[in-house]
Amino acid sequence: MALLRRPSINSSVRLDPNMNRYTEEIVEAFQSIQDDICGQLELFDGKGIFKEDLWERREGGGGRTRILSDGNVIEKGGVNFSAVHGPISAQLANALKVDPGHFFASGVSIVLHPCNPHVPIIHMNIRYFETSSPDSSKDPVWWFGGGIDLTPHYIVEEDSRYFHRQLKTICDRHHHSFYNEFKLWADDYFYIKHREETRGIGGIFFDKLDHKRELNKDQLFDFVCDVGRGFAPIYKEIAGRHKHKSFTDQEKQWQLLRRGRYVEFNLVYDRGTKFGLETGGRIESILMSLPEYARWTYDFKPEENSREAQTLDLLKKGIDWHH
C-alpha cells in the first residue's frame, strides 16, 4: 500500500499572510508530521484509509481533518492539523490571559480508538500559539504545548513500562527535568475527578513552554517535533503486540465501558474540547476524539480479582512506570 499523499494546505486554506519565519517553519513541520503519521498508520493498519476534510475558518486559516474508520486495527481514528489566525476576542484574551491583538495558532491532534480491547486508546497533541499586540513596544507572546498519553482497556505492566521509557528517552534528549515534570503534570491533568481515577496510565503533558525556560525557542520547537515524530513508532510497537489477540464479548463490553470514561473526560475536563466549544470552533474536528461506540452501565462493578478489577486498581496517580 502506498504512503498517503495529500495536496499542501497552502493551496486550499487561507493562512496568515503576515506569518514570520517561525510560524512558516512550524506550519511546514506540523503538516509533515501529520503526513508521516497518517502514512505510517495506514501501512500498519493494512485496511483503513484516511479520508481528508479540508476546511477553512472564516476569520482566517483552516486545517486538514483526517479520519480513518473500520480498519483492521483502528476502529476510528483522527489525525488533525490546523493553522488559524485572527483578532483576539475579549473571551479569548481573558481565557489565555493575554492582551488584545492578533493571534496565530497551529497544532497536530490525534486520537485512535482500536477495534481490539487488548489494544489501548492513544492520544497525542502538539501545538504552538503566539500573539502580537498593536503596541509595537510589546514583545510577542508565544508558547508551545502538547503531550501524549495511553489509555489501555486492560493495563499490561510491560507495555506501560515501555511507553513511559520511550517518553523519558524523548524528554531526556532535550532537558533532564522534562520527563518527571511532565509526567506529574499528565497524572494531574488526565484525572477523572468525579470517578477518582486516571483516564489511563498517563504519559506526559506540558503547556505554555516559552522563553522563561532554560531552552530557547528553537530548542523547544525541536522538542515538540520530537514528541510528534515519536508517536507512530511507540503506538505501532504496543498495538502490534496485541492486535491479533482474540477477545470475548465480555472483554468487548469492558472496552465500551472504558470508552465511556474517555468520553466523560473529554467532554467534562479536556481543555481543548471545552475551549473549542466555547469559542465557536469547528465542531466536527473538536469531537473527532470521541469513539464510534461507547457504553454506560448503571453502577457497574467488576468481579473481584478479575483483570477488569486489576486495571481499575492501577488507574492512580503517581505510579512510577518507567522503572
- Going by DSSP bridges, is the β-strand pair 61-69/141-151 parallel, antiparallel, or unpaired? unpaired
pTM: 0.92
Beta bridge partners of 33: none
Domain regions of the chain by residue span: 9-313
Average pLDDT for 261-290: 86
Tens digits of per-residue pLDDT, 189-201?
Answer: 999 999 999 999 9
User: Cell 528517552 identifies what position?
Assistant: 169
Domain spanning 9-313: CATH superfamily: Coproporphyrinogen III oxidase, aerobic (3.40.1500.10)
Position 291 pLDDT exceeds 80 = yes
What is the three-class DSSP state of 74? Answer: strand
Question: Between residues 276 and 78, which one has the greater pLDDT?
Answer: 78
Q: Is 123 labeled as catalytic in the residue annotation?
A: yes
The pLDDT assigned to 136 comes to 65
pLDDT at 250 over 90: yes
- Quickly tell me which residue has 505554555 as its cell: 208
Provide the pLDDT for residue 91. Answer: 72
Mean pLDDT of 183-190: 97
Q: Do the beta carbons of residue 146 and residue 275 sit within 8 Å?
A: no
pLDDT value, residue 11: 37
Find the mean pLDDT for residues 163-182: 97
Residue-wise pLDDT for 19-35, tens only, equals 677 788 999 999 999 99
Q: Is the pLDDT of residue 134 over 70?
A: no
Candidate list 85, 123, 153, 164, residue with the active-site label: 123
| Burial grade of 52 (CB within 10 A; 0-12, 13-18, 19 or more) | middle
**92-101 CB burial, b ≥16 within 10 A, e <16:** bbeebebeeb
**Contact (CB, 8 A) for 54 and 34:** no
Write out pLDDT tens, residues 108-129.
Answer: 999 999 999 999 999 999 999 9
Judge whether residue 247 has pLDDT over 60.
yes
Q: Is the pLDDT of residue 7 over 50?
A: no
Local confidence band at 97 (pLDDT 50, 70, 90 cut-offs): confident
Task: For the chain, list the strands marked E by DSSP.
Answer: 51-56, 61-69, 74-87, 102-114, 121-132, 141-151, 191-192, 197-198, 203-209
Residue 5 has pLDDT above 50, yes or no: no
Residue 135: pLDDT band (50, 70, 90) is: low
More confident position, 168 or 105: 168
Q: pLDDT category, 6, cuts 50, 70, 90? A: very low
Q: What is the secondary structure of 132-145 as a DSSP string?
A: E-SSTTSPPEEEEE
- State the pLDDT confidence band at 137, using cuts at 50, 70 and 90: low
Please provide the average confidence, as pLDDT, over all residues in the chain: 90
Give mean pLDDT, residues 201-217: 91
Residue 241 neighbours by CB distance under 10 Å:
15
CA–CA gap between residue 21 and residue 39 (Å, rounded): 27
pLDDT at residue 276 in the model:
77
For 213-230, the pLDDT digits (tens) are: 889 999 999 999 999 999
